Amino acid sequence: MPDAIAYVDGFNLYHGLKSKYGRAYLWLDIVELVQRMRRDDTVRAVKYFTAIVKGEPDAARRQETYLAALTAHRPQVQVIRGHFKVKNMRISCRACGAQWQCQCQPPQQRYRTYEEKLTDVALATEMVRDAALGNGDLSLLVSTDTDFLPAIQASLELAPTRPIMVACPPGRGSPSRFDGMVTSFPIREEHLRASLLPDSVPDHGLVRQRPDKWA
């Protein structure tokens, strides 16, 4: 059986699941999902790329709980973290017309937001590195972000016989974006439904509980 290495774009998957199914499938066993999608392959590793959200403490706690539960339940999952960086937006206040710093009392306009950094670069690097080193027999990308096209092209140049599969999260764009370079397929709800973590996951003497908001 071929060894598969999966590369999961955490936010692409999260937003696709949430937009289509709400929070029903966020407590997801990624290894089980990959195995169900690729029944004839052995899941050698799952590399999960994400960043902890900023400015939303409750959401960040749920995210940390999930990552701890996932890696405790599935040791073959490697979480590679990026980060969120403060981004100042140049937007004029509709009330006073000021930019960068609203002059209204109280201020009417926010200028701070956050942007995800490094996760896409890290995923692309890992995919190309594994292709170059011959780690595993095939690559499975869980994302429809076309920013990964250069990584796919480089992987195919380095390892022309290494198949690249793309599992498309719900509602995240058409597989045709990849111009026939890969074999793509949608993630089916029946596989999601059968691939949830246990509600309670033991973790070195602790118990990671599925968040009530994700029930």
| Residue-wise DSSP of 104-138 | SSS-----EEEEEESHHHHHHHHHHHHHHHT-SSE
Of the pLDDT bands very low, low, confident and very high (cuts 50, 70, 90), residue 92 is: low
Q: What is the mean pLDDT of residues 80-85?
A: 71
Q: Retrieve residue 196's tokens.
A: 């949830």
* pTM > 0.95: yes or no: no
CA angle 142, 145, 146 (to 5 degrees): 125
Q: Which tens digits make up the pLDDT trace of 29-65?
A: 999 999 999 999 999 999 999 998 887 899 999 999 9
Q: Retrieve residue 202's tokens.
A: 């033991």
> Is 80 exceeded by the pLDDT of residue 125?
yes
Euclidean distance between CA atoms 156 and 130, whole angstroms: 11
Of the pLDDT bands very low, low, confident and very high (cuts 50, 70, 90), residue 1 is: confident
Residue-level pLDDT at 43: 96
> Is 80 exceeded by the pLDDT of residue 178?
no
CA angle 99, 105, 108 (to 5 degrees): 50
Contact status, residue 145 vs residue 9, Cβ threshold 8 Å = yes
Q: What is the mean pLDDT of residues 182-193?
A: 94
Q: Assign 64 to helix, strand or coil.
A: helix
Return the C-alpha torsion angle 180, 181, 183, 187, nearest 10.
-80
Contact status, residue 43 vs residue 34, Cβ threshold 8 Å = yes
Residue-level pLDDT at 114: 46
Percent of the chain with pLDDT strictly greater than 70: 80
Of the pLDDT bands very low, low, confident and very high (cuts 50, 70, 90), residue 76 is: very high
Residue 71's contacts (CB-CB under 8 Å, 6 or more residues apart) are 77, 79
Which segment of 75-84, 113-122, 130-139, 176-185 scores lowest on mean pLDDT? 113-122
Contact status, residue 143 vs residue 169, Cβ threshold 8 Å = yes
